[in-house]
Amino acid sequence: MWKNLLWRLLGIGLVLVLAVLWVLLDAHPAMAQENTVNYTYAELADQDFSNKNLYGAVFAAANMRGASLENSDLSYSILTEAVLLNANLKGANLTGSLVDRVTLDFADLTNAIFTDAIASRTRFYDTTITGADFSGAILDQYQVYLMCERASGVNPVTGVSTRESLGCKD
């Protein structure tokens, strides 16, 4: 009986030690995230974010109609459910970003980089995509079909053609 109690106490002690170590080792990344720019639900219509380092920024459900993000680094950012109607994303880098359920209608994505981005249920109606690179991006097939009708150009940074990155048939 004492032997079983001792084993249970040792097991509980081991779990507690592992839990404390996990919290201590995980504390550093959490502290780094405190400095992340967070514009969740923000009203950012017509704002100028051109040439900014917005790496890892959060724009979830933000109203960004007419905003300019030209030449900005939005790598690994979150734009879930954001509205970017008529937005300027020329030359923007959205590598690895979460761009799901975003409205990009009438936006300008000339030479933008969307490599490895997740853009499911995102709308690209009448969006300028000349020179944009969508390599490895997750896109709805219907949106790819529509974009292939107007895809042209080569991205000046990655050297990949828009048609090739979308997998358009010639």
CATH of the domain at 123: 2.160.20.80
> Between residues 26 and 59, which one has the greater pLDDT?
59
Q: What is the pLDDT of residues 3-14, one digit of tens each?
A: 666 666 666 655
Cα dist. 98→1, 2, 8, 57, 76 in Å?
55, 54, 44, 11, 7
The total domain count for the chain is 1
CA distance 114 to 132: 7
Residue 18 clears pLDDT 60, i.e. is over it: no
Per-residue confidence (pLDDT) for residue 161, from 0 to 100? 98
CA distance 150 to 129: 8
In a domain, 59, yes or no: yes
Burial 140-149 (b: 16+ CB within 10 A, else e): eeebbebbbe
In a domain, 120, yes or no: yes
Domain range for 88 is 40-169
With tokens 């359920």, the residue in question is 101
In a domain, 18, yes or no: no
Q: What is the pLDDT of residues 77-105, one digit of tens each?
A: 999 999 999 999 999 999 999 999 999 99
Looking at the chain, which runs of residues are DSSP E strands? 118-119, 138-139
108 and 88 Cβ atoms separated by less than 8 Å = yes
In a domain, 63, yes or no: yes
- Give Dmax over CA atoms of the chain in angstroms: 76
In a domain, 30, yes or no: no
Q: What is the pLDDT of residues 133-169, one digit of tens each?
A: 999 999 999 999 999 999 999 999 999 999 999 999 9
In a domain, 100, yes or no: yes
Cα dist. 27→18, 33, 44 in Å?
14, 10, 32
Going by pLDDT thresholds of 50, 70 and 90, the confidence category of residue 22 is very low
Summary mean pLDDT of the chain:
88
Q: What is the pLDDT of residues 53-79, one digit of tens each?
A: 999 999 999 999 999 999 999 999 999
Burial 53-83 (b: 16+ CB within 10 A, else e): ebbbbbbbbbbbbbbbbbbbbbbbbbbbbbb
In a domain, 90, yes or no: yes
